[in-house]
Structure 1
């Protein structure tokens, strides 16, 4: 890019002496007229300080030029010098000169140097010689340059111009540019006329080439002069910047991926905090429902409602955990499940997710739809696809949910590269919306890409679905008919010989205590209260605290033995493990059960793993709490 700019600078006003310097006032390029004026070739003085080469009879004038140059480099303003003096040179050529200094820009806003133009007044300077120098310069130039007269006939071209545009140089000179390129766009003809009127123009443009190729070209067009006031034609410089454009696009893609990754990381942090608080509230709901179910007969009218609340809370727990898994990359917990049964268990929630005027159709495969994956992942796939299908339908329409067993052999997959060989269960969600246009379909699985209005979608739904399917060795296809709707097909490996685990109703009786004393600490007062009620119902004695400081004070005030500490892990003042170690100093035989709604990697940071018997994941049911408490107490007695 910079080489192209320097060549463009050298070509300005070639019949006068032209010298280009960089920001450190070092000579970079000059034309033959300047070489004659200074008495040096460019090879002899390139890179030297301009002020050392500029030897004038009048020292005050030399200082004036130096100061003007500094002003141009600092401000970008043009400077004109009109004084005349004699150059002291090694040649016999002495000349009285005036001229101007103009800034050279690498790009708008960044000055890369300055351009001196000395108006040569000598009578013996032959314009024909300058024209010859210009033609030689163009022919030898390593960039694509062409010299034209006012009728756009070729006067000279560089070898690079010939090669770049695949031209025949033996019959090019003297021919019209419009004859060589008969399909040239009209806006280029307008640009040529502007240049011949005295304008210097530049731009970047995408040009079609042979065989359907397209190249990005950076171009500069400027007039050349037969005399001081007569334009003889124009000089055109072009540079193929296709590779640079591709690199810029790759950099932009990488930047967008980085921004997306940072958004996901931020989402993970936000989800972790929200899910922790949400899990606490779910725990309160489950705790109260669990206690209520103990006190009500199964044939009571409210029993069914309480059971529905319990099931909805458990479903919400699974979905919250899946959000955490997506944002923090936690490992899922796959198991064999019967896909149709899992979908039917989700049906009530799905119908509430779609608009009332939309018909919901369920067409299950007869049998054999067994897959191995985390059940909550099925819930998340269904929720995302059904919500998207509902949003795609404006007014009355239909969403069809279907499962089908499919098998693809290697021959089929060779002919259809987007398929994988093997036995699969296809889960499809179809809608009767307007369909998806091709440009949108190419990006629908990108994180944070959404066509929904601001505030109506995050752009994470389909990217989450794609991530889940890939994690489970499946694949996705989208069948789309613009104007007639779209179908998302999820193919999951079928485990025909597997036996899914049956759904087990919660045990009616939970292991009970024998009046052991438990100190329970949770910084959520509502959860601490319901946990106390559950433990009391199980036959334990309980004291509760809502902060580590309060727990330590209770232990100091309590005169008896505390058999078990149940503590939240992440709390103000100190974490659960630090609290346990502090209380151990007061009662060395104290047992501990940690509980938390945070993700596994946050637990690991606190020094606690979920594999330990002393850890209970929130939200938990009455039975889960009862079993875990007995495990810890019995383990301590056995040791």
Structure 2
């Protein structure tokens, strides 16, 4: 009985053992099911288009096949894996996926290390925006350890079946096998934990801000380090709190709009939105999001790409493009405009010379000249945008420029505004065009004047400053170094943020149409940037405005920039001068001015007329004055033909076009035989004498 009892006890223990192993096998089967495996992120990823060409792969794929990106991307599958593997295995699988059938296969790939790798491969259709299948996504999971575990588990079950067949004495061996199986399960669980840890590290290492929050109330479940850096909040402040409570979205309506899209579509890609950091700083981001389930709770995976700097650069580019457009406009209209200004100014001068004393008429003519001067100033400001204005850069002492301008500034700003200067001594010099620096100061001063309707104080100050790495972040485009800071402040009405955002844009003005063109501050901005500097503005409504201009220190000794005054008496002559000009007003003005001081004049409105005059003119020609751009034959072509007939003839070109256009005709804008319109009668007579006397003994 004792023996039977012992045998029964053994059988009971055996059945218990079989039951335990069965339950364990069920657990292992569940753990190692394909669903559990593929719920993890794939280790290797590749995208293949309908031409069997790889369009994208990750680094693991390249490692598995010992390839580089250049050897795979853009190449067909058979070029990478071989013709046989393509025809026998890859092509049938890809074709099924292209028909919309998702396929999953156990596979051996490699070589990897000393052997081949067991993987689970899934071929999935890639559906485009139009709904058509555009390619195939190939995802693989390493199942080498799991398949080994399955095979050992089957072997263990076979051993247990043998025990049931009467080999009770082998129970101890089966128990050892069971122990090994338990150890194997622990290894699998450790591998799963390791995979989870890898995912956590990847999540934290993503450079863009990523967060997971609940769909309904936006409570944060997790976020990566980049998210905390961008928002300025700590993990403790974020996890368990909601985005709306923290004020991360610039507007609650913004989040509602984005969430509504995700709810309808399941995902979004690159939606522009505004987020706000803990410090209140606004950031522009591109949001991509995916609807997902976290432990039965509908949640959203957010990825945000910070494009604030890009938007700032786009804004700068837009502003530059506007200025370039104005520059092209300026280049197109200056010729006709300068012709008109030459005639207006010339006839005003002639009228004033002939008028004598009638003061009322004289006053009216002077008003016409003032209007002409204003128009000339407008042209110069337009040309400043396109850098087409002829400039003379030199080493300048800004303090001296300001001191020389003080009397003029006082006249312009009026008696009800007090002008103060605070000029730091020995600040060095800048390398710039004197006229440009004067334009900066004058435009900022006039802008300040217009902001002080009831009088006030205009303060102009200078100082030398050093901008380090931390400082230049506030001044885009500058490099670390020494700068001269020019500051122009007023006690006027000030500006709101909306006005400050547009104040440097061409044609933007808050003044009445008759009191402003909207080019003054835009001109200042263009000049400052063209000279390697930066300009910024501080202002509040009712508290005045302060403009800060930073220009790089030159380090050279400044030149004397005092303006020369006093006129030289007009010098005439008796030489024969041919004038070729298509604008009748300018032509008649030149003829009248030069004719009044003794010259013999011939005139033509085109190249053909000039050639006809030469045919009928029996004498010599001492000087030809030719417009550069003429209908039919241009100025240089006319001169070339005339020089064949009159080789000793002198040449003077006139033009209303900027220098870059003139240079297309082979005439440098620095040519001393070039007179730029609009010009005065005095400038014309002096230039004519200068050209005629060139190379002679006369002084």
Indicate the TM-score class for this superposition, using the shorter chain for normalisation: 0.5 to 0.7
| TM-score, with length taken from structure 2 | 0.57
Corresponding position of 1:37:
none
Q: Separation in 1 of the partners of 2:558 and 2:54?
A: 80
Out of 182, 185, 188, the residue aligned to residue 240 of structure 2 is: 182
Corresponding position of 2:458:
402
Conserved? CA contact 1:444–1:462, under 8 Å:
no
SS of residue in 1 equivalent to 2:292 = strand
Q: Separation in 2 of the partners of 1:591 and 1:28?
A: 69
The answer to whether residue 444 in structure 2 is matched with residue 378 in structure 1 is no
Corresponding position of 2:676:
617
The answer to whether residue 89 in structure 2 is matched with residue 53 in structure 1 is yes
Per-residue CA deviation, residues 279-323 of structure 1 (Å, 9 max, x unaligned), is: 111110111112112212146432333334335434543442343
For residues 78-157 of structure 1, the aligned pairs below 5 Å read: 79=100, 102-104=125-127, 111=134, 113=136, 138=196, 140-141=198-199, 143-144=202-203
Conserved? CA contact 2:458–2:489, under 8 Å:
yes
SS of residue in 1 equivalent to 2:351 = helix
Corresponding position of 2:563:
501
Per-residue CA deviation, residues 452-485 of structure 1 (Å, 9 max, x unaligned), is: 69x9999754342245467889986644233444
Change (3 A) 1:567 1:134: same
The answer to whether residue 419 in structure 2 is matched with residue 364 in structure 1 is yes
Out of 468, 475, 493, the residue aligned to residue 432 of structure 1 is: 493
The answer to whether residue 572 in structure 2 is matched with residue 512 in structure 1 is yes
Per-residue CA deviation, residues 569-609 of structure 1 (Å, 9 max, x unaligned), is: 12233432222111111222222111122223333343334
The answer to whether residue 658 in structure 2 is matched with residue 599 in structure 1 is yes
Q: Separation in 2 of the partners of 1:28 and 1:566?
A: 67
The CA deviation at 1:536 is 1.4
Corresponding position of 1:23:
49
Q: Separation in 2 of the partners of 1:408 and 1:179?
A: 45
Corresponding position of 1:278:
337
Q: Separation in 2 of the partners of 1:211 and 1:315?
A: 48
Corresponding position of 1:563:
622
| TM-score, with length taken from structure 1 | 0.61
The CA deviation at 1:552 is 1.7
Out of 504, 526, 538, the residue aligned to residue 597 of structure 2 is: 538
The CA deviation at 1:343 is 2.2
Change (3 A) 1:180 1:380: closer
Q: Separation in 2 of the partners of 1:267 and 1:151?
A: 50
Conserved? CA contact 1:519–1:565, under 8 Å:
yes
How many residue pairs are counted as aligned between the two chains? Answer: 525
Corresponding position of 2:540:
481
Conserved? CA contact 1:27–1:50, under 8 Å:
no
Corresponding position of 2:17:
none
Q: Separation in 2 of the partners of 1:444 and 1:196?
A: 35
Per-residue CA deviation, residues 212-248 of structure 1 (Å, 9 max, x unaligned), is: 9999875434349xxxxxxx7479895866xxx34x5
Q: Separation in 2 of the partners of 1:467 and 1:218?
A: 38
Q: Separation in 2 of the partners of 1:178 and 1:381?
A: 53
Q: Separation in 2 of the partners of 1:258 and 1:539?
A: 55
For residues 157-556 of structure 1, the aligned pairs below 5 Å read: 181-185=239-243, 200-201=266-267, 218-223=288-293, 233=296, 245-246=305-306, 248-298=307-357, 300-314=359-373, 316-328=375-387, 330-332=390-392, 338-344=404-410, 347=412, 361-365=416-420, 374-375=434-435, 378=438, 381-383=441-443, 386=446, 390=450, 397-398=453-454, 400=456, 402-403=458-459, 406=461, 427-433=488-494, 435-437=495-497, 441=500, 443=501, 461-468=520-527, 478-488=537-547, 500-501=562-563, 503-504=565-566, 506=567, 509-514=569-574, 516-556=575-615
Per-residue CA deviation, residues 141-176 of structure 1 (Å, 9 max, x unaligned), is: 474399x9x999xxxx9xx9888899xxxxxxxxxx
Q: Separation in 2 of the partners of 1:21 and 1:104?
A: 12
SS of residue in 2 equivalent to 1:566 = strand
Q: Separation in 2 of the partners of 1:587 and 1:221?
A: 87
Structure with higher helix content: 2
Q: Separation in 2 of the partners of 1:625 and 1:19?
A: 77
SS of residue in 2 equivalent to 1:363 = strand
Corresponding position of 1:590:
649
Conserved? CA contact 1:21–1:114, under 8 Å:
yes
Q: Separation in 1 of the partners of 2:326 and 2:276?
A: 43
Q: Which runs of 5+ in 1 are unaligned?
A: 1-9, 30-41, 56-61, 72-78, 91-98, 117-123, 167-176, 225-231, 352-359
The CA deviation at 1:448 is 5.4
Conserved? CA contact 1:480–1:487, under 8 Å:
yes
The CA deviation at 1:497 is 12
SS of residue in 2 equivalent to 1:592 = strand
Conserved? CA contact 2:262–2:268, under 8 Å:
no
Per-residue CA deviation, residues 489-539 of structure 1 (Å, 9 max, x unaligned), is: 67999x9997833543x55x521222x221101121221122111121122
The CA deviation at 1:634 is 2.5
Change (3 A) 1:186 1:616: closer
Conserved? CA contact 1:106–1:112, under 8 Å:
no
The CA deviation at 1:568 is 0.9
SS of residue in 1 equivalent to 2:383 = helix
Q: Separation in 2 of the partners of 1:606 and 1:27?
A: 54
Per-residue CA deviation, residues 234-278 of structure 1 (Å, 9 max, x unaligned), is: 79895866xxx34x5555554554444444333223212212221
Q: Separation in 1 of the partners of 2:278 and 2:372?
A: 64
Conserved? CA contact 1:556–1:586, under 8 Å:
no
SS of residue in 2 equivalent to 1:635 = coil
The CA deviation at 1:630 is 1.9
Per-residue CA deviation, residues 355-389 of structure 1 (Å, 9 max, x unaligned), is: xxxxx833235999999963575356545664687
Corresponding position of 2:179:
none
Q: Separation in 2 of the partners of 1:490 and 1:464?
A: 13
Q: Which runs of 5+ in 2 are unaligned?
A: 1-34, 57-63, 67-76, 109-121, 140-149, 151-184, 205-209, 229-234, 250-254, 476-480
Q: Separation in 2 of the partners of 1:287 and 1:28?
A: 71
Q: Separation in 1 of the partners of 2:443 and 2:262?
A: 65
The CA deviation at 1:543 is 1.9
Larger Cα Rg: Structure 1 or Structure 2?
Answer: 2
